[in-house]
């Protein structure tokens, strides 16, 4: 993709890519979770994210106007054209690491969708408003697990701390604002204090401390990803790449 997409298309891509990559990651758990109930709830979250991804990527393609649909965008771009945040592409690790990722991301996504639901752009507002209830549930689910694992047994506590520590350096990127988000009238930086308050309240309930400040790792929004994303894409895109032009 040589030309940069129009700013509104880029906004939709970011939203769609976040949901897509997180949904893909979560679906790796399917059949392997610590209990059947957990398996079902992770699959639920994954399904919601994939559904949201289809909507936002569809919108991105529509705004871009080059005939690319959601599948074309999901399965035929390379790492440098993906605009998801680094947080969602992080590996699942153990269950605590997955919970940490979900916890930090879902609270952000809930605040973001709540803001987007009020957007002047009715297309974004409609998708966000519809998905808001889903992501609220994801945030509650993840928070409950942070508390259970943090204020649980010794091993779970140590793992929860390690999980948060792994993910924490990717939190700042969520709130990094630029002119692309401005095109949609989005002020992500303004979401930070509400997010901080939510995170701190849950951590307190979990008897956990905030992880030590890390130097933020940034770059996902402009295609500067971690090494993990390429592997995720090569798995996800395999069939479309191996059988070009086939319909499924």
Partner 1 sequence: MYTTDMTGKKTAQPVAEDPARVAAFEARVANDEFIEPKDWMPEAYRRTLIRQISQHAHSEIVGMLPEGNWITRAPNLRRKAILLAKVQDEGGHGLYLYAAAETLGVSRDEMTEALLSGKAKYSTIFNYPTLTWADIGAIGWLVDGAAIMNQVPLQRTSYGPYARAMVRICKEESFHQRQGYEIMMHLAQGTPEQKRMAQDALDRWWQPSLMMFGPPDDKSPNTEQSMRWRIKRETNDELRQKFVDITVPQAEAIGLKAPDPALKWNEARGHYDFGEVDWDEFWAVVKGDGPVAKERMQARRKAWDDGAWVREAARVHAVKRAAAKLAAE
Q: Please state, in angstroms and rounded to a whole number, the distance separating the CA atoms of residues 22 and 16.
A: 10
- For residue 127, what are its two tokens? 């998708």
Interacting residues with partner 1 between 4 and 23 (CB under 8 A): 20
Tell whether residue 59 is a contact of partner 1 (CB under 8 A). Answer: no
Q: Which residue has the tokens 């949904």?
A: 23
226: number of Cβ within 10 Å: 18
Stretch that binds partner 1, among 108-116, 169-177, 186-194, 232-240 (CB under 8 A): 232-240
Q: Which of 131, 136, 134, 107 is nearest to 117 (CA)?
A: 131
Q: Which of 53, 216, 222 is nearest to 131 (CA)?
A: 53
Choice between 180 and 206, CB closer to partner 1: 206
Of residues 37, 67, 213, 227, which one binds partner 1 by CB under 8 A? Answer: 37
Q: Please state, in angstroms and rounded to a whole number, the distance separating the CA atoms of residues 181 and 168.
A: 23
Tell whether residue 238 is a contact of partner 1 (CB under 8 A). Answer: yes
38, 142 in Cβ contact below 8 A?
no
Stretch that binds partner 1, among 1-9, 117-125, 182-190, 235-243 (CB under 8 A): 235-243
49, 134 in Cβ contact below 8 A?
no
Q: How many residues bind partner 1 (CB under 8 A)?
A: 50
Tell whether residue 70 is a contact of partner 1 (CB under 8 A). Answer: yes
User: Which residues contribute to the site for partner 1 (CB under 8 A)?
Assistant: 20, 24, 27-28, 30-40, 43-44, 46-47, 50-51, 53-54, 57, 70-71, 74-75, 94-95, 147-149, 151-153, 155-157, 159, 235-236, 238-240, 243, 245-248
């Amino acid at each position: 993709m040589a030309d940069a997409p129009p700013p509104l298309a880029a906004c939709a891509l970011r939203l769609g890519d976040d949901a897509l990559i997180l949904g893909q990651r979560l679906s790796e758990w399917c059949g392997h979770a610590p209990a059947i109930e957990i398996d079902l709830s992770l699959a639920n979250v994954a399904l919601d994210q994939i559904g949201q991804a289809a909507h936002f990527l569809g919108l991105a393609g529509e705004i871009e106007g080059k005939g690319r649909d959601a599948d074309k965008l999901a399965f035929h771009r390379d790492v440098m054209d993906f605009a998801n945040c680094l947080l969602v592409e992080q590996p699942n690790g153990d269950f605590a690491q997955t919970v940490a990722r979900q916890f930090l991301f879902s609270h952000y996504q809930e605040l973001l969708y709540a803001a987007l639901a009020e957007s002047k752009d009715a297309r974004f507002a409609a998708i966000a408003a519809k998905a808001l209830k889903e992501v609220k549930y994801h945030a509650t689910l993840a928070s409950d697990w942070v508390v259970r694992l943090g204020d649980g047994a010794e091993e779970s506590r140590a793992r929860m701390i390690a999980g948060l520590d792994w993910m924490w350096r990717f939190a700042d990127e969520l709130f990094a604002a630029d002119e692309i988000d401005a095109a949609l009238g989005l002020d992500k930086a303004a979401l930070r204090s509400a997010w901080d308050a939510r995170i701190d309240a849950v951590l307190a309930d979990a008897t956990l401390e905030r992880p030590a400040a890390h130097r933020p790792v940034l770059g996902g929004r402009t295609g500067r990803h971690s090494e993990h994303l390429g592997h995720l894409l090569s798995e996800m895109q395999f069939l479309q790449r191996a059988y070009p032009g086939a319909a499924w």
